[in-house]
Amino acid sequence: MSSKGWRKIWPTKVEPVATKIVEEVSKYVVGREDVLEIMLIAMLSEGHVLLEGPAGVGKTLTAKCFAQAIGGTFKRIQMTPDLLPSDIVGTAVYNLPKGTWDIREGPIFANVVLIDELNRATPKTQSALLEAMQEFQVSIEGRTLQLPRPFLVLATQLPYGGEGTYPLTEVQIDRFAFRLYLSYPDPEEELEIVSRVDITQEPDVRAVTTPGEIQDLIERVKEVYVSDAVKKYVVDLVNAVRKMDEVRYGPSPRASIWLFKGARALAFMVGRDYVIPDDVKRLALVVIPHRLKLKPEYEAEGVRPEDLVTRALKEVEVPKY
């Protein structure tokens, strides 16, 4: 992605740190404007991202380059059916010379963690991520350990019903602030990917910021003003989806929470200290759909959760600001 492409998505003034991160990652990653935007929003709002889509479209490369650009650490965890919770969070190991039990930290201890094929792991192993994602800590042998900050989980999953998969529970899915579907690159982007193949195999990404500076930005995001009218718009939008006839289980209050927090981060990144309804609209399709379950008869007719959110965006009155 070029700087020009970045400006096309965010035509207004962009937070300088965000611009630096995108420009650095763009040297190695082609055509992933949507992913980088959501990763930045998730990082600044302290959320996590569920990525869906075909294999080989650059999810790991994007995550690794992003971690290096923020000066943070990166770990990738390949989920398999025989993986245990201790393989992720860590375990206690007996130190024979000292006669003590030492904690060996697992790969969850990183600033950016890519969980590949999350639904190949058993529910027991999947649940090991809940405490980490919600409370930024893990418990090992009765000891509570804080995770590095900032902390971002990116998870991919195989298509539902695939061989050897364990569907994510509603609770697990709800922990992901945002869900994004990655498609194949267009022919022009794929040509650029082929041309860059030698430099992307061993990317030498320069750190353009530090985890400490990112933490400062996270605190500044919390100061972004959200009017009562915009807050009501967030709640009205979520409730409109809940009340639709096609919905079996509606989105939880976390949908409203992440629309609120994500909109603050988006406003901050485009240089505003206040949220407008368009910030909420922009994030609705990556915050709400994965949190609702349709009635079987409507699923059979080909209705998608995204269709309901799109309808709500058209029907719910947009407040003036």
172-201 residue pLDDT tens? 899 999 999 888 888 888 888 888 777 766
Q: CATH number of the domain at 3-215, please?
A: 3.40.50.300
- Reported as half-sphere exposure (CB side, CA atoms, 13 A), residue 26 has a value of 17
| Domain spans in the chain, listed from the N-terminal domain onward | 3-215, 223-315
pLDDT band at 6 (very low <50, low <70, confident <90, very high): very low
What's the pLDDT score for residue 184?
A: 84
pLDDT band at 97 (very low <50, low <70, confident <90, very high): confident
pLDDT band at 2 (very low <50, low <70, confident <90, very high): very low
Give me the residues paired with residue 94 across strands: 101
**Alpha-carbon distances of 320 from 231, 242, 314, rounded to whole Å:** 12, 24, 15
What's the pLDDT score for residue 160?
A: 60
Structure confidence by residue, pLDDT tens digits, 116-170: 999 888 888 888 888 899 899 998 888 889 999 999 999 998 766 566 677 788 8
Residue 219: pLDDT above 70?
A: yes
Mean pLDDT of 295-305: 92
Token pair 């009218």 is found at 229
Give the Cα separation of 36 and 15 in Å (integer).
14
What's the pLDDT score for residue 89?
A: 92
On whether the pTM is more than 0.85, the answer is yes
In this structure, are residues 91 and 132 in contact, taking their beta carbons and an 8 Å threshold? no
Q: CATH number of the domain at 223-315, please?
A: 1.10.8.80
* Mean pLDDT estimate for the chain: 88
pLDDT band at 261 (very low <50, low <70, confident <90, very high): very high
CB atoms within 10 A of CB 240: 17
What's the pLDDT score for residue 321?
A: 65
Residue 298: pLDDT above 70?
A: yes
pLDDT band at 241 (very low <50, low <70, confident <90, very high): very high
Give me the percent of the chain exceeding a pLDDT of 90.
Answer: 55
CB atoms within 10 A of CB 164: 10
What's the pLDDT score for residue 5?
A: 39
What's the pLDDT score for residue 7?
A: 41
Give the Cα separation of 281 and 284 in Å (integer).
5
What's the pLDDT score for residue 245?
A: 93
SS3 for 271? coil
In this structure, are residues 304 and 285 in contact, taking their beta carbons and an 8 Å threshold? no
Q: Any alpha helices (H) in the chain, and if so which ranges?
A: 3-9, 16-25, 33-45, 59-69, 85-89, 123-135, 170-174, 187-195, 197-201, 211-221, 228-242, 253-269, 277-287, 296-300, 305-315
